[in-house]
Amino acid sequence: MELLKDKFGRKFPYIRLSITDVCNFKCGYCLPNGFKIDKSDNRTFLSLEEIKRLAKGLSELGVSKIRLTGGEPTIRKDFYEIVKVIKNSSGINKTVITTNGYKLDKFAEQLVESGLDGINISIDSLDKNKFHKITGHDRLNEILNGIEKLQKLNFKNIKINAVLLKGVNSNDKDFQQWSNYIKSNQVEFRYIELMQTGDNLDYFKKYHISSKVFTDFLIKNDWIIQTLGIDAGPSKNYINPEFKGKFGIIAPYSKDFCKSCNRLRITSRGDLRLCLFGNTGINIRHLIQRDDQTEELKDLILKQLNFKKESHYLELGETGLTNNLSVTGG
């Protein structure tokens, strides 16, 4: 089997696949005015059949994990069918999702039944009012209840992500609230540093803060950094034997962040993106129209990997094709 590998020796067992750009939330850093149809691009989102062929081709290239994202992936009417088709007929070992947790209290059972292997839920604050202010929705309780339901159903792989925002969710009181939460909940909570995108420069300037404030809190409170496995993701994790859960930090502006990059992205309309912030994005959709195109598809993806750059150059203010992360799925 020819495996996905780039010229810097990085391997890619992991794909993030956006299945829709549509989202019902209005997160200030992503879609502050809500989702708007992009009139310059009238292509439809990938269909179930196209996703099935794509997943099969990717698994033959050694991809073992697909993360479904968006927009809000659970908004798609055929969302559970997508999970099932990837799980049951593509050869991919793990199917996971990133979601805003909308109606999670209602969906929890169906999610577990679909065979999903893991869920990342975005919760920017445990303070109801702050949550409302950041996302435009007063839905914190239904999300927390949803997590409780997942736990009761013995669903194990739960992660929570929050974007760290200066003066909003970045003080010791916020950190302490999360500490209390993961003391008794076996979930991994990670802060992600706010990233600059094509659309959010003013927001970025106002709210970006280095994750050092959180690292300082962790060190002060006896959290110990966990050594990373070979296929570890971008998160630096911290453990403490007194707690059921773990903490993590995703700091895209840190030195060497790109060295451990093990992911490629595919947009909801079938563009392969080599980097979240890259300027290259070729369309691979024409090669998932028929079952007999798998070899051609694999060949094209392998060739494209030669163009993956060593770093995202975000620190130079380069945001590439990314206007906001609802298109590429974060």
Per CB under 6 A, 31 contacts ligand SF4:
yes
* Residue of 195, 276, 288, 314 interacting with ligand SAM (CB under 6 A): 195
Q: Which is nearer to ligand SF4, 114 or 197 (CB)?
A: 197
Per CB under 6 A, 24 contacts ligand SAM:
no
Question: Which 65-124 positions form the footprint of ligand SAM (CB under 6 A)?
Answer: 69-70, 72, 98-100, 122
Q: Rounded to the nearest 5°, which phi and psi values hold at 34? A: 80, 170
What number of residues does the chain have? 330
Q: If DSSP states are collapsed to H, E and C, what string results for 136-181?
A: CCCCHHHHHHHHHHHHHCCCCCEEEEEEECCCCCCCHHHHHHHHHH
Per CB under 6 A, 235 contacts ligand SAM:
no
* Residue of 59, 90, 95, 100 interacting with ligand SF4 (CB under 6 A): 100
Query: Least distance from C-beta 61 to ligand SF4, angstroms?
Result: 27
What is the SS3 assignment for 57? helix
Give CA–CA dist 71/69, Å, rounded: 7
Give CA–CA dist 302/44, Å, rounded: 25
* Residue of 197, 235, 304, 319 interacting with ligand SAM (CB under 6 A): 197
Task: With contacts defined by CB under 6 A, name the span among 166-174, 194-202, 257-265, 309-317 that binds ligand SAM.
Answer: 194-202
Query: Least distance from C-beta 3 to ligand SAM, angstroms?
Result: 27
Residues 329/98, Cβ–Cβ less than 8 Å: yes
Closest CA to 99 of 55, 54, 139: 139
Structure tokens of 36?
Answer: 């708007």
Burial label for 122, CB within 10 Å (0-12, 13-18, 19+), is: buried
Task: With contacts defined by CB under 6 A, name the span among 26-34, 113-121, 154-162, 289-297 that binds ligand SF4.
Answer: 26-34
Burial label for 98, CB within 10 Å (0-12, 13-18, 19+), is: buried
Q: Which is nearer to ligand SAM, 111 or 325 (CB)?
A: 325
Residues 270/15, Cβ–Cβ less than 8 Å: no
Query: Least distance from C-beta 50 to ligand SAM, angstroms?
Result: 20
* Residue of 30, 249, 301, 314 interacting with ligand SF4 (CB under 6 A): 30
Total residues contacting ligand SF4 by CB under 6 A comes to: 11
Helix ranges, the chain (H)? 48-60, 79-89, 104-113, 128-135, 140-152, 172-184, 201-207, 212-220, 294-304, 325-328
* Residue of 4, 17, 19, 23 interacting with ligand SF4 (CB under 6 A): 23
Per CB under 6 A, 161 contacts ligand SAM:
yes
Query: Least distance from C-beta 25 to ligand SAM, angstroms?
Result: 7
Q: Which residues of 209-234 are buried (b: 16+ CB within 10 A; e: fewer)?
A: bebebbbebbeeeebeeeeeeeeebb
Q: What does 140 interact with, of ligand SF4, ligand SAM, none (CB < 5 to 8 A by kind)?
A: none
Give CA–CA dist 29/142, Å, rounded: 22
Question: Which 57-96 positions form the footprint of ligand SF4 (CB under 6 A)?
Answer: 70-72
Where on the chain is the footprint of ligand SAM (CB under 6 A)? 23, 29-30, 69-70, 72, 98-100, 122, 161, 163, 192, 194-195, 197, 200, 325-326, 329-330
**Contacting residues toward ligand SF4, per CB under 6 A:** 23, 25, 27, 30-31, 70-72, 100, 122, 326
